[in-house]
Amino acid sequence: MRNVSIYLIIVEFLDILTTTIGLENGVKEINPFAVYMGFEKVLLVKILTTVFVIFVLEKKKPNKYDVLVPGVILFFVIWNIINIVLG
C-alpha cells in the first residue's frame, strides 16, 4: 500500500472521529448532505468513497498531486478541531 493511501485512511479516520466528537459536544453540522441524509448514511458514503479513492490511487501511476487528496480532508479535520475547542 502506498503512503498516500495510508495517509488518506488516517485523515479520514480523524475526520470521522472529530465529526463525531463535535456532534456529541453540540457543534452544529454544516454539511448539507449530512443534515438531509443523517450522519449514519453520510458516514457510510464516506467509507465507501474512501475505499474507492484508495483503489484508484493504488491502481494509477503515482504523481506529486496525489498528496492533495488527504490534504483536503486534513483541512476538515483541522476545522472540526477548531470548532470543538472553541465550541
DSSP labels, the chain:
--HHHHHHHHHHHHHHHHHHHHHHTTPPP--HHHHHH-HHHHHHHHHHHHHHHHHHHHHSPP-TTTTHHHHHHHHHHHHHHHHHHH-
Can you give the length of the chain in residues?
A: 87
Residue 80 pLDDT grade (very low, low, confident, very high; cuts 50, 70, 90): very high
Question: Could you state, in order of their start, the residue ranges of all structural domains in the chain?
Answer: 3-86
Give pLDDT, residue 68: 94
Mean pLDDT for the chain overall: 93
Look up the pTM and report it: 0.89
Residue pointed to by grid coordinates 453540522: 29
